Amino acid sequence: MPKIMVAFPEGKHKVLTMSYDDGRAADRRLVQIFNTYGIKGTFHLNSGLLGEGDRIPASEVAELYRGHEVSAHTVTHPTIARSPREQLVEEIIEDRKQLEKLLGYTVRGMSYPNGSYNRQIKEVLSQLGMEYARTVASTGSFGMPDDYLEWKPTCHHNRDLMNLAETFVGLH
């Protein structure tokens, strides 16, 4: 019997994902660095907060993030586990619609604002056609997620990053 192995696109057995929330002005420099080194990132934006304070304005979103993925993060960044279902649906679907209007492509995922999610929220995401959602709880490991609507990152940039990077590079 042939062996079947789960792999990333193009048969890759390991990938690096870079995921950032809120669309802050620092993204300009981060995207520049990513572009210089051929790194792709996912940027989770709040469409209702674009242009406020140090957030990237709507007029820059398509050009700045070209070649990267933009994903939803809700319109106004509420703690959605405390939101009524109607507000939850509106926050997600309106964010998706506004971002898709700016970008010209389908938004497939999101990250949970304030790390807030529960079973009901995951069910709503599935019903709204969202394919994945990132949490904030780090695993310290490199496995594929068991549940794409509860995708836990390996780490955050300010926690043991270099040791994890060495481990990742050494994986076969």
Residue 145 has pLDDT above 90, yes or no: no
pTM: 0.90
Question: What value does the mean pLDDT take over residues 125-129?
Answer: 94
Q: What are phi and psi of 41, to 5 degrees?
A: -130, 165
Q: How many CB atoms lie within 10 A of CB 5?
A: 7
The pLDDT tens digits for 75-116 are 999 999 999 999 999 999 999 999 999 999 999 999 999 999
Top pLDDT among 170 and 78 is at 78
In this prediction, residues 122-129 reach a mean pLDDT of 94
Span 150-164, average pLDDT: 84
Residue 27 confidence (pLDDT): 98
Mean pLDDT value of segment 12-41: 92
Give mean pLDDT, residues 58-85.
97
Q: What pLDDT sits at residue 165? A: 85
